[in-house]
């Protein structure tokens, strides 16, 4: 999908104009979104299945009322945010259910997400990214594309139309900043 960016952009613009996603576009983005969903759930303790996350993300993207897709970069950025939001919402629902019924003396398990070195709690990660967004939204976009969308450094650079070295610099800064924010308090 990344190879023919002009064709993907054309299909996204057509979707914006018509309000209807073409079968060709759906076929193009579905495997990419499936890979992201699978990567995000791999090794987690979440009760969410890949297909559930994928369908929730696709439904959210299709239901974007004011979506005015200009290019694939915009689409990938929104898709990464939708997946992030879907995961955070799932964790919140899961925790709310655990609070409703927790047997006496049993503490709810911590929900973790793989990807960063210390497997941060997803709610804490979301809150930290919200704080980081106030400092530098470009760094958060790199994190969303690398961490939540599973793109490589080169793919992220291409999507954001920035240099590879900028992606590496943003990624290193975000990793250090997030580690300091997500470090357990002793």
- In the prediction, which pLDDT does 180 show? 78
pLDDT band at 99 (very low <50, low <70, confident <90, very high): low
Residue bearing tokens 């993300």: 57
Q: What domain count does the chain have?
A: 1
pTM of the predicted model, to two decimals? 0.60
**DSSP β-bridge partners for residue 121:** 112
The residue with tokens 């018509």 is: 18
Given this model, what pLDDT does residue 3 score?
Answer: 55
Q: Per-residue pLDDT for 78 more than 60? A: yes
pLDDT band at 107 (very low <50, low <70, confident <90, very high): very low
- What's the average model confidence in pLDDT over 128-138? 91
Range of the domain at 65: 5-182
Distance CA 128, CA 179 (A): 10
What's the whole-number mean pLDDT along residues 19-44? 82
Q: Does 160 or 71 have the greater pLDDT score? A: 160
Average pLDDT over residues 86-112: 59
Mean pLDDT of the chain: 78
Dist. CA 23–CA 152, nearest whole Å: 27
**19 pLDDT more than 60:** yes
Q: Give the model's pLDDT for residue 168.
A: 92
Direct distance between the N- and C-terminal alpha carbons of the chain, in angstroms, rounded to an integer:
45
d(CA 177, CA 145): 17
pLDDT bin (cut points 50, 70, 90) of residue 71 is: confident
């Amino acid at each position: 999908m990344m190879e023919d960016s002009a064709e993907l952009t054309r299909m996204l613009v057509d979707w914006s104009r018509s309000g209807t996603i073409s079968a060709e576009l759906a076929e193009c983005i579905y495997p990419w979104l499936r890979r992201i969903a699978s990567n995000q759930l791999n090794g987690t303790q979440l009760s969410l299945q890949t297909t559930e996350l994928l369908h929730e993300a696709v439904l959210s993207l299709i239901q974007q009322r004011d979506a005015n897709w200009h290019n694939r970069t915009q689409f990938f950025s929104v898709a990464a945010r939708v997946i992030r939001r879907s995961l955070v919402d799932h964790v919140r629902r899961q925790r709310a259910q655990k609070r409703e019924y927790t047997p006496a003396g049993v503490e709810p398990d911590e929900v973790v997400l793989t990807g960063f070195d210390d497997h941060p709690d997803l709610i804490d990660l979301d809150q930290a990214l919200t704080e980081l967004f106030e400092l530098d939204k470009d760094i958060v976009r790199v994190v969303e594309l690398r961490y939540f969308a599973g793109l490589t450094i080169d793919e992220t650079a291409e999507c954001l139309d920035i240099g590879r070295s900028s992606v590496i610099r943003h990624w290193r800064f975000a990793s250090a900043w997030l580690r300091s924010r997500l470090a357990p308090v002793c």
